[in-house]
Amino acid sequence: MLKINRLIPAARDCAKLQPLIYPGLSGDRQRRPMSWQASVQSIAATQAGIFKTISESAPVECCQKYLLYVHEVSGLPWWASLVISTVAVRSVVTLPLAVYQQTILAKLENLKQELPAIAEELRHETNVAVKLFKWDERTAKAAFKATMKQQWNRLVVRDNCHPFKTTVLLWFQIPLWVSLSVSWRNLTYMLPVPDLAAQITYSELAVGGFGFIPNLTVPDASWIFPVALGVANLAIIELQLLSRTSGPRSRTQTVITNVFRVLSVVMVPIAASVPSCLALYWTTSSAYGLVQNLVLLSPRAKRLFKVPETSVEVKEPYKLIVTNLKTKLKLS
């Protein structure tokens, strides 16, 4: 027996809504003064407004304590404890969230496979309802669309995979990245309070580098890490494009991609003008992100992380990337 009754409430609601639907860094980039007292005075002068609030916020304070704890417990030079603390945060926080995002996306993709059968059934029911209730074409189409939306929402609730959950990674990753970045800046400029402990940390950072960045409190004059940061960010963007099998991208997608490309390039001179500990942190984080994206492309890794298999999953993603890259290079 056809379930025509589930179409009637949607048709009534759509009829009511029809009239509505169819109506007629300047200061922060300065070179460090020779003495730490002058440095503190200069940076303190720039501490105002929203940045001061962020610098002294609870999340930044927690991140700052975490960085100091890792350095104290590990007993390693600051550059090594920086890398370890970054990898640890990414592994404990952002990696699980990235896996969760992949799981939600896979569930949503699998739900789409159920829609054709549901749509076919609803079309049949709509045709019957048109004859029984004398609906006009507009009412029938509106009822069909509203009922399909209800059925989609039912499937989403059933599998607990609301599309908004795919944004959870961004809601955690961006604030965490900002908090850690500000924490490194605070350690470099002895903020928020230039007490004895802050002065000791500053002194350790000044000799806690390696190779071409022996002093982590000054910019990377070699530009090695700033350029590496730009390359890593661009590689992540291009990796996302090369790993897809879908057709041409929409104009909006192209614009968004180009915006991120520009931001990746802009970050290079910014990274070259901030303390090298910040450039090292950003580069380490982006490098981890690149490796993370590569790993999560693998079907074997997805099964290991319990990500559901989908009909559109690429069985050999790395071969696809190489093939798409060769094609792109030939076209260019």
Give Cα 247 distance to the centre of its chain.
Answer: 23
Question: How high is the pLDDT of residue 332?
Answer: 63
Q: How far is CA 330 from CA 128, 176, 237, 257, in A?
A: 55, 40, 19, 21
At residue 210, the 3 state secondary structure works out as strand
Structural contact between residues 186 and 149, judged by C-beta atoms closer than 8 angstroms: no
The values of phi and psi at residue 213, to 5°, are -130, 65
DSSP 75: -
Question: How high is the pLDDT of residue 48?
Answer: 57
DSSP 48: -
Question: How high is the pLDDT of residue 47?
Answer: 57
Cα–Cα distance for residue pair 330/24, rounded to 1 Å: 52
Calculate mean pLDDT across residues 158-182. Answer: 94
Calculate mean pLDDT across residues 61-66. Answer: 96
Structural contact between residues 175 and 58, judged by C-beta atoms closer than 8 angstroms: no
pLDDT at 198 over 60: yes
Give the pLDDT band (50/70/90) at residue 267. very high
DSSP 4: G
Task: Tally Cβ neighbours within 10 Å of residue 60.
Answer: 22
Give the pLDDT band (50/70/90) at residue 40. very low
What is the amino acid identity at position 112? K
At residue 304, the 3 state secondary structure works out as helix
Cα–Cα distance for residue pair 264/102, rounded to 1 Å: 24
pLDDT in tens, 10-26: 555 544 434 333 333 33
* Residues in contact with 192: Cβ distance below 8 Å, sequence separation at least 6, in sequence order: 55, 56, 186
Q: Is the model more confident about 247 or about 234?
A: 234
Structural contact between residues 109 and 312, judged by C-beta atoms closer than 8 angstroms: yes
* Residues in contact with 121: Cβ distance below 8 Å, sequence separation at least 6, in sequence order: none
pLDDT at 30 over 60: no
pLDDT at 9 over 60: no
Total-model pTM: 0.83
Scanning 56-114, the segments in alpha helix (DSSP H) are 58-74, 78-89, 95-112
